[in-house]
Amino acid sequence: MSTVIAHWKGGKPFAGISEATAPVTNPATGEVTGQVALATVEDARSVIGAAAAAFPEWRDTSLARRTQILFNFRELLNAKKWELAEIITAEHGKVLSDALGEISRGQEVVEYACGIAHLLKGGFTENASTKVDVYSIRQPLGPVGIISPFNFPAMVPMWFFPVAIAAGNTVVLKPSEKDPTASIWIAELWKEAGLPDGVFNVLQGGKIAVDELLENKAIKAISFVGSTPIAKYVYSTGASHGKRVQALGGAKNHAIVLPDADLDLAADAMVNAGFGSAGERCMAISALVAVGGIADDLVAKIVERTTPLKTGDGTKGADMGPLVTKAHRDKVASYVDAGEAAGATIVVDGRKVQADGGDDGFWLGPTLIDNVTTDMSIYTDEIFGPVLSVVRVETYDEALELINSNPYGNGTVIFTNDGGAARRFQNEVEVGMVGINVPIPVPMAYYSFGGWKNSLFGDTHAHGMEGVNFFTRGKAVTSRWLDPSHGGINLGFPENS
């Protein structure tokens, strides 16, 4: 009988009352390795209740104590990250080096949150009016919900919960049903680090769990990362129930390669950014915009680098692993079919890959498609797989217009040796995160992550100071301490003097 992956409530596993489960598979073999619990409304309310009960004491815990626990968590995570990487690879499929990479990027936010005492400092003005002082403070919101996607089961939650917890909030994390075990491992690590019970909780499940987080009055804010249709739903539903919401949606990330660029550097970058993590990244480059007459040479260089790549089991030295589920693999392959039918040129066909892994694994190799036009579904849709489309244009202005007219605005990059062109691009492009000769422009933790247009709903990005502001609310205090000489009555309107 498969192991049931339960919830985490009040510092320990929580089975709940629901008997409904969903299978968890190893994408490299197709084997069902466990069953994840699917919460009922009652289960969800119980987990949320634990977060609500823990909030008053955690809110009043000193910053010194909070940061000590954050430092403990950071040290434990660093010492045990291989354990977490193996869990991620077993349930998501990405290779171990990629799993370790996502943990390291998440740990950067933990380290940023260790400085929360500095980040929460307010302002103070003495004698704003005669013997009247004005100062500002930032306070936690209360219990907050995090709804995270399958593609980064460790990093994406770590974009949010270190800052939320350090600021004095309690957390309910709702991970993806496809790879839920990492969240329980993280919960256990928090407990080992000394976090009080109930401050970090895990709610497993599907739409019932999500809707309860969005509607429950105890939850004060929601952080979400996922597809744009669901991001819209999360934002509108959460906001209509009075919550603060940051909902990061989908992407169609473009890379412009100008004629003066180093084509070897650009080719390396396109392979890395297009096929890393089997393309299951919201920052993956899926549209290569080749400007001028460089496309043939650039495509040849990408083929040269793609052909030797080894697709297989992420625990056995492969360059790229499987996709997360069979259904997702088939959906991505159907886009390749559609592109071929629409007249695009399949240069490298990942549908024919001979993978080094189980016969029932969810395999689709790196796929390169040339002569793609903007009316094809492989261009218009977010595919979320190892498919790199080449769009040919004649000028920089055509390339810029192509990006700016796209409904998504998550990430984009330009490859050029012309500083003026790069500076013009960063100024003119309507995208939230920009790379210059950098294929995946994910900012460091002390900056904030997030896109524009249909890639973000709400106006607050993840981590950095925007994250601190999201998980706190400001309060301004006007204070006057009366001395013994003060007295008298004056019914006039109080004036500043």
- SS3 string, the chain, reads CCEEECEEECCEEECCCCCCEEEEEECCCCEEEEEEECCCHHHHHHHHHHHHHHHHHHHCCCHHHHHHHHHHHHHHHHHHHHHHHHHHHHHHCCCHHHHHHHHHHHHHHHHHHCCHHHHCCCCEEEEEECCEEEEEEEEECCEEEEECCCCCCCHHHHHHHHHHHHCCCEEEEECCCCCCHHHHHHHHHHHHHCCCCCCEEECCCCHHHHHHHHHCCCCCEEEEECCHHHHHHHHHHHHHCCCEEEEECCCCEEEEECCCCCHHHHHHHHHHHHHHHHHCCCCCEEEEEEEHHHHHHHHHHHHHHHCCCCEECCCCCCCECCCCCHHHHHHHHHHHHHHHHCCCEEEECHHHCCCECCCCCCCCCCEEEECCCCCCHHHHCCCCCCEEEEEEECCHHHHHHHHHCCCEECEEEEECCCHHHHHHHHHHCCCCEEEECCCCCCCCCCCCECCEECCEECCCCECHHHHHHHCEEEEEEEECCCCCCCCCCCCCCCCCC
Q: Are 280 and 98 in contact (CB under 8 A)?
A: no
User: Which residue matches tokens 């189980």?
Assistant: 358
Q: How far apart are CA 413 and CA 418, in angstroms?
A: 14
| The two structure tokens encoding residue 455 | 């890639």
Annotation says 282 is catalytic: yes
Q: Are 370 and 347 in contact (CB under 8 A)?
A: yes
| The two structure tokens encoding residue 445 | 């933790």
The catalytic position among 171, 210, 219, 282 is 282
Enumerate the active-site residues. 282
